[in-house]
Structures are given as C-alpha cells and as structure tokens.
C-alpha cells in the first residue's frame, strides 16, 4: 500500500441478515467456528441474508475527502462502519493508515444523569482520546458547544439542541487523520450548522481527510473532493463529486415514488401534461386552459429535457374576453420549491388560441417539475384561470454546475407569442 | 495513539483467524492496559450515574449492606440456621460470606448486561468492549470493599478479635473477582447474541446461592457432595475460615479453585478478544 493512501477498500462485501432468529443462530455458529480456528465461510449467503455492501472498491489519498451518496439502504453507513473497524468485511479487504475518528451519532455515549462536564470526559474516552488530550482541549470543547452555565447540569435537562451541540463539540475535537462523518451536519440551529461546517473546513486545512455521508448535497459538495454514488450496496459511480451527486439526483428522479397532488387526467392526449392541481372557485373561467404541453425546440411535446434545452410552454386556451392578460408561470419541483418563474403580459382576443412561452435554455437542475399557469387581468386583481400541470423531468447537463434546486447561469426572459390554436400539436414521442 | 505514529490496520473476513496464538495473550493484555483510562471513565460513570437522582446518593452503598446485616442479626437471634461451630456471631459469619458471594453475584449480573446496555453505541463507535465488561465489575468491587469495611466494625461491635488474615481479605478475594470477570466476559458476549442468557443469570445465581454454603455451614448428604466440587464454596469459605479461625481445612481446595479461576479468566478473556467485533452486528 502506498504511503499516501489513507484508506484502501478492495472488493469489500458485507452481508446482513433480515431475520433476528436466524441472525442469532448464525452468530453462535460463526463465533463457535472462529473459536475452533475454522473459517465462518463468510463469502456465502445463507437463507435470509443479503449483501448490504457488494464488491465495493476505492482508495482515498492524503488530502482527499470522499462523499458517499446514495438512496436510503444503499450501504453508505455500513461502508463507514467497515472502515471504522466496527465489523469485519465478509469479502475483500479494508486497509486504514492513520487514526480514525468518527463524527457519527453525536452524543451516543452520553449518560443522561451525568453533567456536561462529566460526559465530556466519558465521551472523549470512548472516542479514543487520551486523558492529556481531553484536558488540553476541554476549554475549546466547552466554548464550541456554547452551553453556557449548563456545563455542570445533568445532560437530561439539556435542550435537544444543547445535547447535540455538546456531542458534536466532543467528536469534532478529536484529531484524527481520517474523520468519518455520518449525517450529523444537520444538527442544531442554522448558526450552529455554520459553525460545524467551519470546524470541518478548519480540520481539512489541518490535513484531516473526510469520508462523508449526507443527503444534503450542498454539504457533500462543499466538503468532498471526490464522490462515490452507491445503489443497493454497489458502486455506480466513482470520481468527480459533482458527477456523483448528479448520479444520485438521477437515482432519486428515476427510482423514487412520485407524490402527485392528484392524478386528474383531464385530456386523453398522452403527450399533454395532466392537470394536477386546481383551485376551482378561483377564477371567472372566462379564459379556459384546454391543454398544456411542453415542447422541445422542434415543437414536439416531450416529458424529458436537459438543462441546456429549449423548452416551450404551450397552453391551448379558449377566451370569451378581449383583455391584456397577465400570465404567471412558475416551475415547481417535487419539494414544492418554486425554481423558476415569470410573469408576462399578452393580448388575448375572444377565440381559441395557443399561448407559447419559450425558455431557452430551461436551466433547471435535475428533478421532476410541474408548472403553474395562472391567468389574471393586467392589474393582477381579477383571475381568469388557474392550474398546476405536470409532470416533466429535467436532467442537469452542461449549463448548471451548482447542486440544489436550480441555479441558472443567467436569467433570460422567455419569448412570448400568441398564435392560432387551429394547427394541432404534432404527436411527439413520450420522453 | 499519537498522530506522528502512522499505524496501518487491515480488516479482512474472519479477521481473528489471521492472528496466531503466538503473542495473543500479550496483545490482549496490552489492549486492556492501553484502555485503562477509558475503563476508569466508564466505571466512574456507572457508579455516579446510579445514585445521582437520589437524596441519599452514595450513602446507599452503605445503607444496603446495613439493612442486610440487620436481617442477619434477626435471623441469627432466632436461630433459623443450625450453624455448627463457626466461632463467631452469626452476622459476622454471614456478612463476611455474603460480601465475597456478592462480588460474584452482583458482578456477574452487571457484566452480563454491560454490552447490551451500551446498545447502539457499540455499532457506531469503535472502542474496546473489554472496558465495558471490566468497568461493570467495578461497582461490585466497590460494594465488596464497603461491606468489608462494615465487617471490620462488626468485629469491634461484637468485641470479637479476628485473626491477622483480616488485612489480607482484599487479596484473598482476588481469585473470586478474577473468576467473576472471566465468566462475565463470556456471559456478556452470549447475552449480546441471545438475550435468554441475561434472563437466566439471576435465576441461576439464586440457585447457586442455595447450593453453596455461604449462609449456612457445610453439611453431609447430597449438598455436601456438591459442595466438595464447588469452587465457589472454597473461594468464599476459605478466606472466611482464615479470618475467623486462622486456619482452614480446605486450603488445597482454595488453591485449586484459584488456579481454575485464573484459567477460566484467561480462556474467557482471549475468547472475548477474538470475537468482540462480531458483537457489533448483533447487539
């Protein structure tokens, strides 16, 4: 193993058992076999067992930090536990050079009856600090935790925020070569979270390498230099952290269960977007949306776009009035966040029309989106029509580099046009 | 572990098999020694945490044995037990025996639960699980020392002069502590996998107390035969005989039981060392 490789994971697999009764029997068998100096034959699956981590390999060098991303149950935490030596792999080999620290389950070793002061000592000892280290860092830990005069109060009287702050403070002050971080960056209030991230940055400057597990892509990208995307225990991507996050977001998009407001399909046109939400009493219905499409640059309805693609919102409407109307069009992702929006004023005469709003490029990041299409009069007071239409998908490509809901390179006003609705929208391929 | 020292650790399937028997015991004891501060911290936590929210606090460590002595005084006065010749008031005889017995019974019960009680922590942080078991014996050792101190006051109260062996009692109790710790290692390991063990231990201890002449003098019959092969009996009665009479007819038994205790201890400690990692995935 080269000297600058801190962690080397070679074809590592780990199996788990789904059944507690079988698990007991297997444990007794394995322990007995080991004591008789026999192999427990770990590379074979017995009934009710499955591979939680399956043939994973990667290396982490000095100065690097690795972000592990993947859906729940993809083996991220198990991988951290294997690197930490909490249990042995069932196949392959894990080699670790240097001292390993764990920023995992902060406050796990706290005893509710003991004071903050006493718990600092106990917890630090469990985390592998020596007596001298704790004495040296005690003041820094207390200051970081910011628990004021609660230091000599039993921790069971702490607020949950104080509890995790103290836990984080202890764990963040052991000085390892490799720090394993599992979903603990979301502790405390926003101010403390910032403090935590600052502390991690500080540690990184001191030369500590991280292996980080988080579902918060922003913190993964902020801390990690390399990314590994896992799915069902297997590595699906290893390399650039942004690329790994993109893979994870795609997994979320493709494999997640979709929560729709309703699935009220108002048109039998499969190329059209469905009306997923509508406030029935809100609007005079003097202007009615008949159909909603999203079109690509060739005017063909699509349900999948890339960030750099042109996207045209095409609303087929029937109007009973002649008015200068104001359109409110927003793109909303699955979490209900408005990622992009515009208001545009167009002239509408009585008749059947197609209103086109061309976004070029669409600039959204990876995700599933619906759009709102609200029609008001020009003064925004009198609504004609409202509705949410969905869903379509966007995959991040080229233009967008920052993870998160949306971050366009530049905001562009859509081109707006009102054309006759007589020309039917050509049937496109669905996706 | 200092930062300048770059240690390389390799984890492989059946990791414990990679290590031969050579140097195994040295590794085990080094691990225990390196983690002595951790052990002390857990020990302190276990002792202080129990009595923190009680008005009497650590006084309970004295109240419990005093209540027990009260019971034995009453039992002694009412001649419940036919003691034979013990050459001492019954309370002294009983409390001295019980202090040694409880080193075993309380120690075993708490060590059986030591791993289970640590629970999720074991699966999240990598630390020496031996410290948990060793520390769990600490509170029973403390309780023993307190009971022993009370015995000294009983001698004064009854105006009985013990032999000089009384100063050696803490040393004479070591084989009992070693046996308890050894069995405790194995029991905690199995309790982590099979919770039946933790449930069975208190029942088993009750049963053993009835079979072992701790509160009564040994007698003939089936119990006598069992007593003959019961190492616990020698570990309790020989130190007591030495304190009360200055000699014991069972010194050979005591030495044999002590040797057995140390062998059990080494075997169990090594077993625990080799398999403690297997526990994390089962707790």
Mean pLDDT of B159-168: 86
Determine, for residues B44 and A86 on separate chains, whether the beta-carbon distance falls below 8 Å: no
Fold of A5-99+176-255: Rossmann fold (3.40.50)
Q: Among B12, B42, B193, whose Cβ lies nearest the Cβ of A93?
A: B12
Which residue, among A230, A232, A231, A212, has the nearest Cα to A222 in the 3D structure?
Answer: A212
Determine, for residues A118 and B48 on separate chains, whether the beta-carbon distance falls below 8 Å: yes
Q: Which positions 177-206 of B are in contact with A (Cβ < 8 Å)?
A: 189, 193-194
Which residue, among A122, A168, A125, has the nearest Cα to A143 in the 3D structure?
Answer: A168
- Chain B residues in contact with A96 by the CB 8 A cut-off are 8-11
Collect all residues with Cβ–Cβ distance below 8 Å to A328 and sequence separation of at least 6: A341, A342, A343, A372, A373, A374, A375, A376
Pairing verdict, β A178-182 and A209-213: parallel
Rounded to the nearest angstrom, the minimum Cα separation between A1 and chain B is 10
State the best of B1, B14, B117 to mutate against chain A, taking most chain A CBs within 10 Å: B14
Collect all residues with Cβ–Cβ distance below 8 Å to B137 and sequence separation of at least 6: B107, B110, B111, B177, B180, B181, B184
Residue B19 sits at φ, ψ, to 5 deg, of -95, 130
Of A200-204, B60-64, B182-186, minimum mean pLDDT range: B60-64
Q: Among B120, B127, B277, whose Cβ lies nearest the Cβ of A126?
A: B127
The per-residue pLDDT for A246 is 82
**Exposed, middle or buried, A145 (CB in 10 Å: 0-12/13-18/19+)?**
buried
Has residue B197 got a pLDDT over 80?
yes
Which residue, among A345, A341, A373, A375, has the nearest Cα to A359 in the 3D structure?
Answer: A341
Rounded to the nearest angstrom, the minimum Cα separation between A397 and chain B is 38
The per-residue pLDDT for B85 is 60
The per-residue pLDDT for B2 is 38
Collect all residues with Cβ–Cβ distance below 8 Å to B206 and sequence separation of at least 6: none
- Chain B residues in contact with A100 by the CB 8 A cut-off are 126
The per-residue pLDDT for A409 is 47
% chain B with pLDDT above 70:
94
Which residue, among B99, B114, B117, B102, has the nearest Cα to B39 in the 3D structure?
Answer: B114
CA distance A340 to A338: 6
Query: Cα–Cα distances in Å, from A80 out to A173, A179, A227, A274, B160?
Result: 19, 10, 14, 43, 63
State the best of A86, A93, A121, A124 to mutate against chain B, taking most chain B CBs within 10 Å: A86
Determine, for residues A126 and B38 on separate chains, whether the beta-carbon distance falls below 8 Å: yes
- Chain A residues in contact with B194 by the CB 8 A cut-off are 24, 28
Has residue A140 got a pLDDT over 90?
yes
Of A220-234, A236-250, A253-267, minimum mean pLDDT range: A253-267
The per-residue pLDDT for B177 is 95
pLDDT band at A96 (very low <50, low <70, confident <90, very high): very high
Determine, for residues A31 and B277 on separate chains, whether the beta-carbon distance falls below 8 Å: no
Determine, for residues B11 and A96 on separate chains, whether the beta-carbon distance falls below 8 Å: yes
Do A404 and A313 meet the contact criterion of CB atoms below 8 Å apart? no
First to last CA, chain A: 47
% chain A with pLDDT above 90:
27
Question: Reduced to 3 states, what is the DSSP secondary structure of residue A66?
Answer: strand
Query: Cα–Cα distances in Å, from A84 out to A7, A104, B125, B126, B282?
Result: 10, 11, 8, 7, 17
The per-residue pLDDT for A259 is 43
% chain B with pLDDT above 90:
31
Q: Classify residue A154 by its DSSP letter.
A: B
Q: Among A24, A34, A89, whose Cβ lies nearest the Cβ of B193?
A: A24
Mean pLDDT of A320-341: 87
CATH class of A274-420: mainly beta
CA distance A364 to A167: 38
Has residue A334 got a pLDDT over 90?
no
Question: Reduced to 3 states, what is the DSSP secondary structure of residue B167?
Answer: helix
- Chain A residues in contact with B13 by the CB 8 A cut-off are 39-40, 42-43, 88-92
In tens, the pLDDT along B60-112 reads 778 877 888 788 778 777 776 666 666 678 888 888 888 899 899 999 999 99
Mean pLDDT of A111-136: 90
Determine, for residues A27 and B17 on separate chains, whether the beta-carbon distance falls below 8 Å: no
Rounded to the nearest angstrom, the minimum Cα separation between A273 and chain B is 47
pLDDT band at B204 (very low <50, low <70, confident <90, very high): very high
Which residue of A lies nearest to B122 if distances are taken between CA atoms? Answer: A86
In tens, the pLDDT along A350-398 reads 999 999 999 888 888 888 899 999 998 877 777 888 888 988 998 887 6
Determine, for residues A90 and B13 on separate chains, whether the beta-carbon distance falls below 8 Å: yes
Average pLDDT, chain A: 84
The full length of chain B comes to 283
Alpha helix stretches (DSSP H) within chain B: 24-34, 36-51, 60-77, 90-118, 120-124, 129-157, 169-172, 174-193, 196-211, 222-228, 231-245, 251-279
ipTM above 0.90, yes or no: no
- Parse chain A into domains and list their residue ranges: 5-99+176-255, 274-420
Determine, for residues A86 and B17 on separate chains, whether the beta-carbon distance falls below 8 Å: no
Determine, for residues B277 and A130 on separate chains, whether the beta-carbon distance falls below 8 Å: no
Average pLDDT, chain B: 85
pLDDT band at A216 (very low <50, low <70, confident <90, very high): confident
Which residue, among A38, A127, A117, has the nearest Cα to A84 in the 3D structure?
Answer: A127
Collect all residues with Cβ–Cβ distance below 8 Å to B100 and sequence separation of at least 6: B144, B173, B176, B214, B235, B236, B239, B240
Higher-scoring residue by pLDDT: A396, A303: A303
Determine, for residues A86 and B280 on separate chains, whether the beta-carbon distance falls below 8 Å: yes
In tens, the pLDDT along A2-34 reads 568 899 999 999 998 888 888 888 888 888 888
% chain A with pLDDT above 70:
90
Collect all residues with Cβ–Cβ distance below 8 Å to B71 and sequence separation of at least 6: none
Determine, for residues B53 and A96 on separate chains, whether the beta-carbon distance falls below 8 Å: no
The per-residue pLDDT for B280 is 79
pLDDT band at B171 (very low <50, low <70, confident <90, very high): very high
């Amino acid at each position: 193993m080269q000297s600058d490789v801190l962690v080397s994971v070679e074809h590592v697999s780990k199996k788990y058992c789904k059944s507690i009764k079988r698990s007991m029997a297997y444990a007794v068998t394995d322990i007995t076999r080991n004591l008789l100096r026999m192999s427990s034959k770990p590379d074979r699956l017995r009934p009710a067992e499955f591979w939680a981590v399956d043939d994973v390999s990667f290396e982490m060098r000095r100065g690097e930090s690795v972000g592990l991303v993947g859906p729940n149950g993809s083996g991220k935490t198990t991988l951290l536990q294997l690197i930490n030596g909490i249990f042995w792999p069932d196949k392959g080999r894990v080699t670790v050079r240097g001292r390993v620290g764990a920023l995992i389950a902060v406050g796990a070793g706290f005893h509710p009856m003991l004071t903050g002061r006493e718990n600092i000592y106990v917890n630090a000892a469990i985390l592998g600090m020596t007596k001298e280290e704790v004495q040296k860092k005690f003041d820094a830990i207390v200051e970081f935790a910011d628990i004021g005069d609660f230091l000599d109060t039993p921790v069971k009287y702490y607020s949950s925020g104080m509890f995790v702050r103290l836990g984080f403070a202890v764990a963040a002050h052991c000085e390892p070569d490799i720090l394993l971080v599992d979903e603990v960056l979301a502790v405390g209030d926003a101010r403390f979270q910032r403090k935590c991230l600052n502390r991690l940055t500080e540690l990184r400057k001191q030369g500590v390498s991280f292996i980080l597990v988080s579902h918060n892509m922003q913190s993964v990208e902020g801390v990690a230099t390399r990314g590994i995307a896992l799915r069902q225990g297997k590595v699906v991507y290893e390399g650039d952290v942004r690329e790994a996050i993109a893979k994870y977001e795609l997994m979320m998009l493709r494999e997640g269960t979709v929560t729709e407001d309703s699935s009220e399909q108002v048109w039998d046109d499969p190329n059209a977007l469905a009306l997923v939400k509508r406030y029935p009493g809100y609007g005079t219905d003097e202007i009615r949306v008949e159909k909603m499409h999203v079109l690509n640059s060739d005017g063909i309805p699509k349900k999948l776009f890339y960030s750099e693609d042109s996207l045209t919102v095409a609303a087929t409407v029937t109007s009973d009035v002649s008015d200068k109307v104001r359109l409110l069009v927003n793109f909303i992702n699955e979490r209900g966040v408005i990622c992009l929006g515009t208001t545009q004023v167009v002239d509408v005469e009585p008749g059947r029309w197609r209103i086109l709003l061309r976004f070029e490029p669409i600039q959204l990041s990876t995700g599933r989106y619906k759009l709102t299409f609200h029609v008001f009069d020009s003064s925004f007071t009198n609504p004609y029509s409202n509705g949410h239409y969905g869903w379509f998908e966007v995959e991040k490509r080229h233009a967008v580099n920052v993870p998160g809901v949306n971050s366009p390179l530049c905001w562009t006003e859509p081109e707006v046009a009102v054309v006759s609705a007589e020309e039917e929208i050509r049937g496109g391929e669905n996706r | 572990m200092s930062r300048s020292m770059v240690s390389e650790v390799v984890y492989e399937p059946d990791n414990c098999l990679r290590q031969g028997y050579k140097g195994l015991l040295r590794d085990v004891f080094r691990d225990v020694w390196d983690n002595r501060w951790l052990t002390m911290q857990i020990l302190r936590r276990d002792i202080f945490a129990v009595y923190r929210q009680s008005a009497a606090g650590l006084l309970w460590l004295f109240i419990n044995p005093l209540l027990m002595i009260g019971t034995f005084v009453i039992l002694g006065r009412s001649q419940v037990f036919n003691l034979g010749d013990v050459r001492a008031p019954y309370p002294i005889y009983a409390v001295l025996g019980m202090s040694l017995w409880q080193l075993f019974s309380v120690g075993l019960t708490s060590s059986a639960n030591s791993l289970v009680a640590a629970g999720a922590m074991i699966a999240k942080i990598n630390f020496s699980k031996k410290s948990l078991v060793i520390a769990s014996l600490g509170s029973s050792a403390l309780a023993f020392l307190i009971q022993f101190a009370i015995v000294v006051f009983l001698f004064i109260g009854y105006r009985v002069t013990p032999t000089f062996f009384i100063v050696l009692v803490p040393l004479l109790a070591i084989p009992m502590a070693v046996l308890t710790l050894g069995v405790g290692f194995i029991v905690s390991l199995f309790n982590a996998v099979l919770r039946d063990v933790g449930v069975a231990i208190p029942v088993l201890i009750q049963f053993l107390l009835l079979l072992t002449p701790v509160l009564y003098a040994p007698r003939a019959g089936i119990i006598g035969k069992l007593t003959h092969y019961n190492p616990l009996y020698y570990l309790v009665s020989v130190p007591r005989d030495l304190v009360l009479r200055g000699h014991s007819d069972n010194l050979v038994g005591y030495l044999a039981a002590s040797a057995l205790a140390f062998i059990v201890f080494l075997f169990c400690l090594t077993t625990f060392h080799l398999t403690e990692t297997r526990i994390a995935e089962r707790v």
